[in-house]
Amino acid sequence: MTPPSTSNTAPLLDAAFLRRLERMAIAVKKVHLGAAKGERRSRRKGTSTEFADFRDYVQGDDLRHVDWNIYGRLDELYLKLFQEFEDVTLHLLLDVSQSMAFGTPQKFAFGQKLVAAMGYIGLSGYDRVSVGLLTGERTEGLTPIRGKASANKLFAFLQNAESAGSTHLDEALRMYSMRQRSRGVYVVISDFLDEHGVENALKRLCATRSDVYVVQVLAPEELAPELTGDLKLVDSESEQYTEVSVSRALMKRYAQNRDAFVEKVRNYCLSRGMGHYLVSSDTPVENILLDVFRKGGLLR
């Protein structure tokens, strides 16, 4: 499977990288059984046709699952256990507000590639993959898809996406959850620069009772700005501006505020059992998957 390309649009991911992604899988910490049986082996023992183990019979167990051959030899009742399979939905939620268009490379372009890579890993593992594009004004979604044959649909959807509008993550997630209620694994990719605050949005993710991972993306210019002189700083979403004279004291205060903001998001996530990753938009996606997500438990 190769991503689509046109004369004006480069592929999101190259073919060699896609082959490497096929050897990865989404790690699921909780059991999420969907409406249909999936192909992911679960920690639960169920009623499929693949034998898993025996256990002692206890009063009330279904006699249809008793191994009568063992009973005939040992005169004891044992139940046959079968391997259950999960139907997991991978929810990939990308902030596409105007602030994500900032940076070199853009945070939005980084998010597109990361969602494409994560989605392809899910499709290769035959998980269901759902994508939501989040802004304050709208929430666009890709109907859940499954299987590598659906990869081109995923790539085309992402390549047609644009970054625009203001950020209101809580409202965007509310609209997404109205359409997609299935539990599973949620991965939210955003800079979390939301004037409405992020606590309610993160609380809404907790309410899904799913595995939740927060990927906070900042541009190199935000992590280590190189600014001098008198500047006019314009908010990309509200278009409000402020004039500043850059000094060493001002840059020190900026660094303190940035670190405090990131730490606030991180602490909120960790205190509620959500994974948190801070990444720079200039980090290769492959490094994020191998060095960050694998070590952090999101991939295996």
Tens of pLDDT, residue by residue over 37-47, are: 444 444 444 44
- Count of Cβ atoms closer than 10 Å to residue 147 Cβ: 15
Average pLDDT score over the chain: 85
Closest CA to 161 of 93, 89, 112, 226: 112
Arithmetic mean of pLDDT, 49-71: 70
Residue type, 264: K
Task: Looking at the structure, give the CATH architecture of the domain made up of residues 15-28+88-216+278-296.
Answer: 3-Layer(aba) Sandwich (3.40)
Encode pLDDT of 250-294 as tens digits: 999 999 999 999 999 999 999 999 999 999 999 999 999 988 998
Taking the C-alpha atoms of residue 252 and residue 296, their distance in angstroms, rounded to an integer, is 30
Q: Please indicate whether residue 83 or residue 254 has the higher confidence score (pLDDT).
A: 254
Closest CA to 154 of 207, 112, 215: 112
The CA-based angle 9-14-20, given to 5 degrees, is 155
Residue 209 pLDDT: 86
Inform me whether the pLDDT recorded for 191 exceeds 60. Answer: yes
Cis peptide before 105 (omega within 30 of 0): yes
> How confident is residue 5, by pLDDT bands cut at 50, 70 and 90?
very low
> How confident is residue 155, by pLDDT bands cut at 50, 70 and 90?
very high
Residue 1 pLDDT: 57
> For the whole model, what pTM was predicted?
0.80
> What is the domain partition of the chain in residue ranges?
15-28+88-216+278-296, 40-86
Taking the C-alpha atoms of residue 192 and residue 214, their distance in angstroms, rounded to an integer, is 10
Residue 55 pLDDT: 66
Inform me whether the pLDDT recorded for 180 exceeds 60. Answer: yes
Inform me whether the pLDDT recorded for 80 exceeds 80. Answer: no
> How confident is residue 36, by pLDDT bands cut at 50, 70 and 90?
very low
Taking the C-alpha atoms of residue 240 and residue 141, their distance in angstroms, rounded to an integer, is 30
Inform me whether the pLDDT recorded for 4 exceeds 90. Answer: no
Percent of the chain with pLDDT over 70: 83
For residues 190 and 100, is the Cβ–Cβ distance under 8 A?
A: yes
Arithmetic mean of pLDDT, 189-197: 94
Percent of the chain with pLDDT over 90: 55
Q: Please indicate whether residue 145 or residue 178 has the higher confidence score (pLDDT).
A: 145
State both tokens at 294.
């694998």
Beta-bridge partner residues of 98: none
Inform me whether the pLDDT recorded for 95 exceeds 90. Answer: yes
Encode pLDDT of 106-118 as tens digits: 999 999 999 999 9
Inform me whether the pLDDT recorded for 7 exceeds 80. Answer: no
For residues 272 and 283, is the Cβ–Cβ distance under 8 A?
A: no
Encode pLDDT of 228-240 as tens digits: 888 888 888 878 8
Encode pLDDT of 124-142 as tens digits: 988 999 999 998 767 788 9
Residue 61 pLDDT: 67
